[in-house]
Amino acid sequence: MSCVRYLMHRRLLRHLSKSVCEHRLHGWQRNQSRLIRTSSKAMTIMPAWVIDQYGNNDVLRFTNNASFPIINYPNEVIIKVFAAGLNPLDVSMRGGYGSATMAMKRDPLNIKQTGSEFPLILGRDVSGVIMECGLDVKYFRERDEVWAAIPPWKQGSLAEFVVLSANEISHKPKSISHTQAAAIPYVATTAWSALVNTGGLSKDNCANKRILILGGSGGVGTFAIQMLKAWGAHVTVTCSHNAEQFVKGLGADHVVDYTAGPVEELLSALEKFDLVLDNIGGDTEQWALGLLKPWTGAKYVTLVTPFLRNTDQLGVADGMLQTAATVATKVIKHLVKGVHYRWGFFAPSGPALDEIGKMVDAGQIRAVVEEMFSFSQVPQAFNKVEKGHARGKTVVEISKGGS
Ligand SMILES: NC(=O)C1=CN([C@@H]2O[C@H](COP(=O)(O)OP(=O)(O)OC[C@H]3O[C@@H](n4cnc5c(N)ncnc54)[C@H](OP(=O)(O)O)[C@@H]3O)[C@@H](O)[C@H]2O)C=CC1
């Protein structure tokens, strides 16, 4: 296609999509303005922590004038945030990590011409209460207490309100508070995606499987240990010495202190594994696949991938090509040795959270809150996450309204 024809095609696409959006929004304007009218003018703005540029903690800015979230599609809900969870991803995003992919996800064909992503609100976990439901939302009602993991291309939960799709949210487990609930969704849906969707594990096939979690004392690890133990797996964990009792208390069967010597030697003395979940990355994959039982369908799943870094550095198209080439080479290289090499990714999922919520209410999984901060202490909360050595999750209480 010539350049001119491509540009005309793009303009036409933009025009068509705008009309579709306007048509979709038509019914919504009345709804939205009703929300704004009935809730007084103050509801058009809200308090939030935002960033206006990428950088270190200095870029975090508190404002009382952040835009109130708007329901754009009929399957969306507005949630009043009681508690927000922070993850290492928030620290990375504050520095610009993933910005190219996030921009593409927010507005794939540049149809809405959203331009700048700023002011950007961080915070990937939310627990709160539904204030307003879109017309197509059937499973949830106003005043329902819900929890969710927020996709990185959406505005986050370090704000009074957040808007999400109904398929991304789930009813909050009744047995835990909002601050406890905000410690679970992002790490839980990441672990679920890595272990269930990518690793092929389920409650029906885990009994006596040998699973190794590299990096078990952080957010993902503390959730994964509990889920796998509830499903009957034998769980070995690596962590530093001072986390040993902590991960054993969550159910880990065997703990290897990675600071006590070359961890690959300590691990290779053990019986081989059916699945390795790698939360550490780096040179780990040079030796971790050798710990798997070959020719049995055993899998290595790493959560530390170069995907976003590639698209940040090379642009979306070249970055994706580079990523596909890298992963294909690695998959083939290990397949001929009889083991499966996979990348795991966070995937927002209300239905997965429904299942996880049942496990929480059944007492099989507990929230591991390492430290709590108030809404005014968001920079301190970022400092805490940035220091690493996590022993569970960092949570920010946004509003006192929740239990
Ligand atoms: N691909 C995706 O979509 C996602 C990827 N991730 C990635 O998964 C990883 C884990 O996330 P999360 O659990 O939230 O991170 P945390 O920071 O909560 O936990 C990391 C843990 O690893 C421990 N650790 C560090 N180095 C080692 C080591 N060499 N061996 C064993 N343990 C070690 C740390 O404790 P200590 O240093 O004291 O040992 C810490 O407890 C991160 O790299 C994150 O970026 C997370 C979510 C989604």
pLDDT band (50, 70, 90) for residue 4: very low
State if residue 398 touches ligand 1 by the CB under 6 angstroms criterion.
Answer: no
Q: Are 151 and 168 in contact (CB under 8 A)?
A: yes
State if residue 236 touches ligand 1 by the CB under 6 angstroms criterion.
Answer: no
In the prediction, which pLDDT does 400 show? 81
In the prediction, which pLDDT does 101 show? 82
> What is the rounded CA–CA span in Å between residue 248 and residue 235?
10
Q: At 288, which amino acid appears?
A: A
Q: Looking at residues 10-21, what average pLDDT do you find?
A: 36
Q: Is 82 left (phi over 0), alpha (psi -120 to 50) or beta?
A: alpha
Q: Looking at residues 13-26, what average pLDDT do you find?
A: 36
Q: Which strands, in side-by-side order, build the sheet including 299-302?
A: 254-257, 234-239, 210-214, 275-278, 299-302, 340-343
Q: What is the pLDDT of residues 43-55, one digit of tens each?
A: 589 999 999 999 9
Atom of ligand 1 nearest to the CA of 390: 41
> What is the rounded CA–CA span in Å between residue 354 and residue 365?
13
> What is the rounded CA–CA span in Å between residue 365 and residue 368?
9
State if residue 6 touches ligand 1 by the CB under 6 angstroms criterion.
Answer: no
Atom of ligand 1 nearest to the CA of 392: 18
What separation in Å is there between the alpha carbon of 25 and the centre of ligand 1? 41
Q: What are the C-alpha distances in Å from 352 to residues 187, 247, 356?
A: 12, 24, 6
Output DSSP code: residue 58.
Answer: G
Which ipTM was obtained for this model? 0.99
Domain 186-343 homologous superfamily, CATH: NAD(P)-binding Rossmann-like Domain (3.40.50.720)
Q: Do domains 3-183+369-397 and 186-343 have the same CATH topology?
A: no
% of the chain surpassing 90 pLDDT: 80
Q: What is the mean pLDDT of the chain?
A: 89
Q: What is the pLDDT of residues 275-286, one digit of tens each?
A: 999 999 999 999
Q: Looking at residues 14-28, what average pLDDT do you find?
A: 37
Tokens 């591991």 belong to residue: 368
Q: What is the pLDDT of residues 292-348, one digit of tens each?
A: 999 999 999 999 999 888 888 898 899 999 999 999 999 999 999 999 999 999 999
State if residue 101 touches ligand 1 by the CB under 6 angstroms criterion.
Answer: no
**CATH number listed for the domain at residues 3-183+369-397:** 3.90.180.10
In the prediction, which pLDDT does 107 show? 67
Q: Looking at residues 34-59, what average pLDDT do you find?
A: 76
Q: What is the pLDDT of residues 260-300, one digit of tens each?
A: 999 999 999 999 999 999 999 999 999 999 999 999 999 99
323-332 core/surface letters (b: 16 or more CB in 10 A; e: else)? beeebeebee
What separation in Å is there between the alpha carbon of 215 and the centre of ligand 1? 6
State if residue 86 touches ligand 1 by the CB under 6 angstroms criterion.
Answer: no
Q: What is the pLDDT of residues 93-143, one digit of tens each?
A: 999 999 988 887 776 666 555 567 899 999 999 999 999 999 999 999 999
What separation in Å is there between the alpha carbon of 125 and the centre of ligand 1? 17
Q: Looking at residues 155-166, what average pLDDT do you find?
A: 98
State if residue 305 touches ligand 1 by the CB under 6 angstroms criterion.
Answer: yes
Boundaries of every domain in the chain:
3-183+369-397, 186-343
> What is the rounded CA–CA span in Å between residue 241 and residue 258?
8
Q: At 186, which amino acid appears?
A: Y
